[in-house]
Amino acid sequence: MILAAAIASLSGAGLASAPENTSISADDLRRDVFILASDEMGGRLVGTEGNKRAAEFIAGRYAELGLTPVGVDGSYRHPFELIVPRLGQAGRLRVTRDDHASSFTFGSDYFPERFSGTGEATGGLVFVGFGISAPELGHDDYGKTDISDQVVVMLDHEPGEHDQASLFDGDVLSEYARSVRKALEAQRRGASAVLLVSDVHNHPTIPPLNRPISDVWPRVWGRVPGYQLGAWVSELRLPVMRISTELAERLLATNGSSFGTVTRQAETPGGMTPIAHPEIVVNVAAEVYREHVPEHNVVGLIEGADPLLRDEWIILSAHYDHEGTTDSGIFNGADDDASGVAGMLEIAEAYALAAARGHRPRRSILLAAWNAEERGLLGAWAYTERPLMPLSMTVAVLNMDMIGRSEEVPENGGRRFHGLDPQTAESNTDAVNLIGYSYSSDLRAAAEAANFETVLELRFRYDNSRSNLLRRSDHWPFLARGVPALFVHTGLHPDYHTERDQPDTLDYKKMSRVVKLVHELSWSLAQADARPMLD
């Protein structure tokens, strides 16, 4: 009875179908996918004319449907900045220990990280373990230690990396392990520079520099530069160096204690006490130029009708970028993710038709077409850094990515299918994966209730999979920031990220059922008295 009451509360008007749900059709979805995944769009790679044409097409549809432009200057553009780092002059790393100075070799002992700031710094050495401050988890590697004007050494990754009972995420790294976040925390606490090194106690066979400098700073970039998110990198000013494990051994090993022994102290529950080495003074210099690249998401609003709830938003999203064109052909990305964008546009049309007949949702619905998903979810991350409405007012995110096929995992499929069990498309004909379900039982229950007409087989199976699908689409930045979110996904297949992902390979009848489900769920969330909560 309690679960039934909760579902009813979250379903608002009960099991009444969302208005104009029947307007969502396979033919309309097919039309939009064929446009978005046409050769004219050139694979929609970030920074290309095809990507811009796709954005213009989406904005044009928003305008036709009468969505409220909530972007910059009354447009449908939500701007953000990408940064392409360029390595300047060779850096410097010099260590003075008990009045004895040593210089080290650029490229084999150290080099700047791609998100490093430009500058020179000198300070005493402090080892801060993983360099993570997570008071909400009861973990702090800094404690009350003042690291002002010091050079901090910190490890890659996070405590309990291979422990499923970890306070962090265990088998899969959490956002606390992201190196740029660690560097920003060190800067906030007053550090003068950061030295990053591999956590050898967890990865004893890793190369001394983790990756060679030629991988991080290639002499010639391919067709896709190594983008960084401007919202993160622009704030980082201090030098951040990657150092070899051999150099870390020279710096941190003591009599009878190897660097590997020292690193194990970083696993101390609640965080380690920083270890200062006042006898070691480090001087570092880095020169990294930053090319600023403006990009944007495409956003439009269905305004809610309830004066008390209209400032609470539900986000419906999909990403419009893909992999572009190579010598082997055009990566048209029909399923990835023209399918999701087409689904989003069909839902927008259903809401527009309903509004024209006087049926508006109580809460507002933001339609968001993210850019730069294929480059690391950068458009969605950018939104979470500068949201149009505070994230605390975001009720839920429903993200559609690859909704046009049936999951098919071949035997020995390779890295793209890592962590997924072999399965046939026929075994998944009526199935759709909902990912992110373990973060909100309320949202899961609402999704199950919304399935009353589409009667799809809802599969809740990948939140803790080694495939890491949980973190591979644009719902993840919202989950990481505490917003309930679901990734709606009919599964990977052998055409994923190949030039064979073409519009004529999609199952538009199944796709229409998936889109109707998402529309129903979004309507029920918009009408409900209660909001879904995180568990």
DSSP state letters, 331-349: E--IIIIIHHHHHHHHHHH
**CATH code: domain of residue 268:** 3.50.30.30
Q: Are residues 342 and 412 in the same domain?
A: yes
Give the per-residue SS3 of 253-292.
CECCECHHHHHHHHHCCCCCCCEEEEEEEEEEEECEEEEE
Whether residue 186 is contained in a domain is answered as: yes
Q: Is the peptide bond before 327 cis (omega within 30 degrees of 0)?
A: no
| Number of structural domains found in the chain | 2
Q: How do residues 121-166 score in pLDDT, each as one tens digit?
A: 999 999 999 999 999 999 999 999 999 999 999 999 999 998 888 8
Phi, psi of 257 (to 5 degrees): -135, 115
Whether residue 534 is contained in a domain is answered as: no
Q: Determine the structural domain holding residue 198 and report its residue range.
A: 89-286
C-beta of residue 161 within 8 angstroms of C-beta of residue 206: no
> What pLDDT score does 477 carry?
98
What span, in angstroms and rounded, lies between the C-alpha atoms of 112 and 180? 12
What span, in angstroms and rounded, lies between the C-alpha atoms of 178 and 157? 7
> What pLDDT score does 10 carry?
56
Amino acid type, 353: L
Instruction: Spell out the residues 6+ positions from residue 210 whose beta carbon is closer than 8 angstroms to its own.
Output: 156, 198, 242
Q: Are residues 108 and 194 in the same domain?
A: yes
Alpha-carbon distances of 166 from 151, 159, 257, 437, rounded to whole Å: 29, 7, 26, 20
Whether residue 454 is contained in a domain is answered as: yes
> What pLDDT score does 356 carry?
95
**CATH code: domain of residue 406:** 3.40.630.10
Q: Are residues 130 and 151 in the same domain?
A: yes
> What pLDDT score does 3 carry?
38
Q: Are residues 387 and 278 in the same domain?
A: no
Rounded mean pLDDT for each run of 10 residues along the chain, 535 residues in total: 44 66 98 98 98 98 98 97 94 93 95 97 97 96 97 97 84 90 98 97 92 92 92 97 96 85 94 95 97 98 98 98 95 98 98 96 98 98 98 98 98 92 97 98 98 96 93 97 98 97 98 98 97 96
Q: Are residues 72 and 106 in the same domain?
A: no
Whether residue 148 is contained in a domain is answered as: yes
- What's the pTM value of the predicted model, to 2 decimals? 0.94
> What pLDDT score does 13 carry?
41
Q: How do residues 231-288 score in pLDDT, each as one tens digit?
A: 999 999 999 999 999 999 999 988 778 899 999 999 999 999 999 999 999 999 999 9
Domain boundary among 227, 251, 286: 286
